[in-house]
Amino acid sequence: RGAGLGRDFTTAPEISQIFGELIGLWIAHIRQSLPGLAPSNIVEMGPGRGTLMRDILRSLELVYPQTKKSVKLIEASPVLKARQMETLSGPHPVQHVDRLEDMSPGPFILIANEFLDCLPVRQFTRLKGVWHERWVGLDAAGALAFGLSPALDRRPYPPPSQNAASIDADCADDKDKDKDIEIEVQPALDNLVEALAARAGAGDAFHALFIDYGPQDKTPDNTLRAYFEGAQIPVLDRPGLADLTVDVDFGRLSRLAEAAGLGVSGPQSQGQFLAHLGIQARLDALVRAHPDRGEDLFSGAQKLIEPGGMGTRFKVICLSSPGLAPVFPFSDQAE
């Protein structure tokens, strides 16, 4: 995200410590299904300030108090890398890697909270049955402006390869092929699934948990948004300084993973996921231990699960290497 350490977004780990603590307990539970996994060989993509991993490790200390946890952080920003090392200074070894492909072989558990929404997006518009891509150029005054590409035909359209037929396939919920519509495609979802499938092909067992906002039953349309200093601004204002975000296409992510032979659990709403993990019990315990903070603790937990807000807008999905048992809580609860 362009704003680096700016607080244009408030993420779940910063709203309530319960979020990371429950993720830590989830890791402790599912690690039993990964043969050969150390007590916690954890990977986080896009760790932000390190808040989520700090809360995860605190929770895991309760389960494995005498065991060092092996932590890998996938982060591009040098500024955020430094902040993460400050937050996670302690007894557990923390290593930064640039890509999933750079990790050493072996089983792992991967966590990514509000990472997918930051991946680049391509926007396509179908007008009178003809697809065009939304491009950025200059207007008559020399300012950045959106426009449309020439018509896309059935030939591959680089880079990356994209053509009208593949766009139609991505538009899974579109029944009327003559209707004018807009859709968004995140090519990096393909790259992510390919990287996970390559790890599985090399023999690595893993579970990869992704938590983000977006629909699970439709293709996102024009959801690209920009934020600067806590306020939404026009997308092309302040390039390189504003935080950019889009809704994640969980349906497409599921289809890509299944086509690559990976196991897919979910998606499930964040509210359901945290309820199954015991958010109410953890909240009650914290309030008993810290009655002076009861109101703040309750307010934070409610924000994570409230219907119509984070509880339903955010989804949770787990991609796994082939042959592993169904993942809790997706396996035990009806949607």
Per-residue pLDDT for the chain (335 aa), expressed as one digit of tens each?
Answer: 444 344 456 789 889 999 999 999 999 888 877 766 655 589 999 999 999 999 999 998 888 886 777 899 999 999 999 999 999 988 888 999 999 999 989 899 999 999 999 999 999 998 888 889 999 999 999 999 999 998 886 544 443 445 555 666 666 555 566 788 899 999 999 999 999 999 999 999 999 999 999 998 888 999 999 999 989 999 999 999 999 999 999 999 999 999 999 999 999 999 999 999 999 999 999 999 999 999 999 999 999 999 989 999 999 999 999 999 889 999 754 44
Long-range pairs of 175-178 with CB within 8 A, sequence gap ≥ 24: 177/129, 178/128, 178/129
Rounded distance, CA 185 to CA 119, Å? 10
Distances (CA, A) of 90 to 25, 73, 85, 137: 20, 15, 9, 48
pTM, full prediction? 0.90
Rounded to the nearest 5°, which phi and psi values hold at 71?
A: -115, 130
- Report how many helices (DSSP H) and strands (DSSP E) the chain contains, helices first: 11, 14
Report yes or no: 115 and 212 within 8 Å, Cβ to Cβ. yes
Residue 152 carries which DSSP code? B
Rounded distance, CA 121 to CA 190, Å? 12
Rounded to the nearest 5°, which phi and psi values hold at 210?
A: -120, 130
Instruction: Give 219-281 as a DSSP string.
Output: ---S--EEEETTEEE-TTSSTTTSEEE----HHHHHHHHHHTT-EEEEEEEHHHHHHHHTHHH
Give the pLDDT confidence of 168-179 residue by residue, as tens digits.
Answer: 666 655 556 678
